[in-house]
Chains A and B, each alone.
Chain A
Amino acid sequence: MIQIEKVNKWYGGYHALVDVTENVAKGEVVVVCGPSGSGKSTLIRTLNRLEPIQSGRIVIDGVDAHGARVKLNTFRSHIGFVFQQFNLFPHITVLENCTLAPTRLRGLKPAEARDEALTLLDRVGLASKARAYPGELSGGQQQRVAIARALAMRPPLMLFDEPTSALDPEMVGEVLLVMRDLARDGMTMVCVTHEMGFARDVADRVLFMDAGRVLERAVSSDFFARPEHPRLRQFLSDIRTPFPVAA
């Protein structure tokens, strides 16, 4: 479904993505992890062209994401993107957040959009908050609404850019639960995340990035049980033992 071919990106003189080549099949759940500054957020943002690329190709469902002729807005409406900072629209209600795009971009009638939105909100456990404003919700609740908002466009692909990094620890679980259910229902997902438990239990494959390169890619069980690249080994050990006990 996604073909990333020799993608390179520079921020001025800084080489942010170096010859990245990957494929994601339909129905796959891929997690991208790595230290901060490794380029993982940059990579996922190039997928829906929030960031431009200087060379290479990204083809999603047959469409060249960075092509000159592509209808960008239509392309983006077929991809669901969930941000680290949720980015709900604070001036309208939760329900309106979820019906705004479907009514105007998918051409749904307001009543249909409302019903679909309520179903989705129920699925993420927030139907009771439909009439509330985003400012009244906790971080975890806002992120779940953000997921429902993205799902309301019925996208075949969902992208998650560190969806739980801005949340207090006790709210991380509720969001990961929603993402796990989504994966079980067969959604194609690419997630940038630090949540290794999620990666191990839900992801099909895991990619490890550092300094703009994908250093290792493996089926999730192999990734954690038999890491090969030395940087990956270092990374995993840093995560497992954040406070090394003095010898």
Chain B
Amino acid sequence: MIELIDTYWLYFLVGQYPHGPLGGLALTLILAVLGLLFAFPLGLVFGIARVSPWRSVRWPVSALIQIVRGTPLLMVVFWAYFFLPSLTGQNTDQFWTMLVALVVFDAAYLAEIIRAGIQALGKGQTESARSLGFSYLVAMRLVILPQVVRNMLPSLVNQFVSTIKETSLGYIIGLTEVSFIATQINTQVLTRPAEVYLLLGLTYFILCFGLSRFAFWLERHLQQRTMAKAHA
């Protein structure tokens, strides 16, 4: 196992860079970060639309979210892979295909997290903001969302963990993320597949477990802060 790590660690971490495109764990992380970064504002818009008082906004968005959530991510990736080129008029490479798929997919899930957060707040906050004379959107921006985002921080970190795992699907369209690299290493080494894939699993585990522990700590820390302020 040690010689494996010794020989291939750089390839595993950054792919063929600088002699080729960035790959490996670095690509996995960049894809996950960008995916969640772009999915968040889209998820916010969808989440707010989901609870808005106007049916013409609520229904189409709810339908879209239900459709995306009822579809496997792989399906979304394939739709993006086969139809993005015709939409954009040019050959889309695997990175952008995967990114678009991740953003659309995660936005639907984030929308539900946001919706749950808004509803957990109760209608009292919205009513008092509206009673002061704020419009629906301004009330969202100034009063509801600041509280929701703060409350939803642990869920957002968990969603980031999910996104990291989702990047593994890039394997299927040939994106050189860390699972793909592991298989490349396996085809070169041939005699130690169990070790290679155990190392792959270990890598994901350290990353994702670390982050979910952080989310857990964050949740406790935020709760304690609220308690402290209340008893001040």
Contact of B127 among A75, A87, A101 (CB under 8 A): A87
Contacts of A133 in B (CB 8 A): 229
Prevailing SS type, chain B contact patch: helix
Bound Cα distance A75, B133 (Å): 7
> Is A73 an interface residue when CB atoms closer than 8 A count as contact?
yes
Closest Cβ of chain A to B124, distance in Å, is: 4
Is A153 a contact partner of B229 (Cβ separation < 8 A)?
Answer: no
Which stretch (A9-17, A76-84, A173-181, A217-225) binds chain B?
A: A76-84
Q: Is B229's CB under 8 angstroms from A135's CB?
A: yes
Chain A residues with CB under 8 Å of B150's CB are 91
B127 close to A83 (CB less than 8 A): yes
Complex Cα spacing A105 to B129, Å: 12
Contact yes or no, A105 B134, CB < 8 A: yes
Distance to closest chain B CB from A101 (angstroms): 4
Check if A114 is an interface residue, CB within 8 A of chain B.
no
Q: Are A153 and B132 in contact (CB under 8 A)?
A: yes
Least Cβ distance of B150 to chain A in Å? Answer: 7
Asked whether any CB of chain A lies closer than 8 Å to the CB of B125, the reply is yes
- With A and B bound together, what is the CA distance between A137 and B142 in angstroms? 21
Chain B's interface size range is 20 to 34
**A58 lies within 8 A of chain B by Cβ:** no
Q: Does the CB pair B124–A89 fall under 8 Å? A: no
Are the C-beta atoms of B132 and A77 separated by less than 8 Å?
yes
Contact with A along B196-232 (1 / 0, CB 8 A): 0000000000000000000000000000001001101
How would residues 120 to 153 of chain B score, 1 for a CB under 8 Å from any chain A CB and 0 otherwise? Answer: 0000110111111111001000110011001000
Query: How does the 8 Å CB contact mask read for A147-188 relative to B, with 1 for contact and 0 for none?
Result: 001100100000000000000000000000000000000000
Report the bound CA distance from A50 to B127 in whole Å. 7
Docked CA distance A96–B135 (Å)? 18
A6 within 8 A of B: no
How far is B230's CA from A135's CA once the two chains are assembled, in angstroms?
5
Enumerate B99-138 residues with CB–CB distance to A below 8 Å: 124-125, 127-135, 138
Q: Is the CB of A100 within 8 A of B142?
A: yes
In chain A between 75 and 111, which residues have their CB closer than 8 angstroms to a CB of chain B? 75-79, 81, 83, 85, 87-91, 100-101, 104-105
**A74 within 8 A of partner (CB):** yes
Q: Which residue of A lies closest to B126 (CB)?
A: A87
A91 contacts B146, C-beta separation under 8 Å = yes
CA distance A141 to B131 in the complex (A): 20
B residues near A105, Cβ cutoff 8 Å: 132-134
**What residues on B are CB-neighbors of A150 within 8 Å?**
131-132
- List, in ascending order, chain A residues with CB within 8 A of B142's CB: 100, 104
Assembly CA distance A76 to B146 (angstroms): 23
In the complex, the answer to whether A83 meets B132 with C-beta atoms within 8 Å is no
Determine which of B128, B134, B135 lies in contact with A81 in the assembled complex, contact meaning CB atoms within 8 Å: B128
Residue of B nearest to A48 (CB): B131
Identify which of B128, B138, B230 contacts A136 (C-beta below 8 A).
Answer: B230
Give the shortest distance, in Å, between B144 (CB) and chain A (any CB).
9
A85 touches B124 (CB 8 A): yes
A81 and B230 within 8 A (CB): no
B232 touches A73 (CB 8 A): no
Q: Nearest chain B CB to A86's CB is how many angstroms away? A: 8
Given A87-B125, A90-B147, A104-B138, A81 and B131 touching (CB < 8 A)?
A: yes
Q: Of A79, A85, A89, A132, which is in contact with the most chain B CB atoms at under 10 Å from its CB? A: A89
18 A-B pairs (CB sep. < 8 Å): A48-B131, A76-B130, A77-B132, A77-B133, A87-B124, A89-B125, A89-B129, A89-B143, A89-B147, A91-B146, A91-B147, A100-B132, A101-B134, A104-B142, A132-B232, A135-B226, A146-B128, A153-B133
**6 closest pairs, A vs B, by CB?**
A77-B133, A87-B128, A81-B131, A87-B124, A101-B132, A135-B230
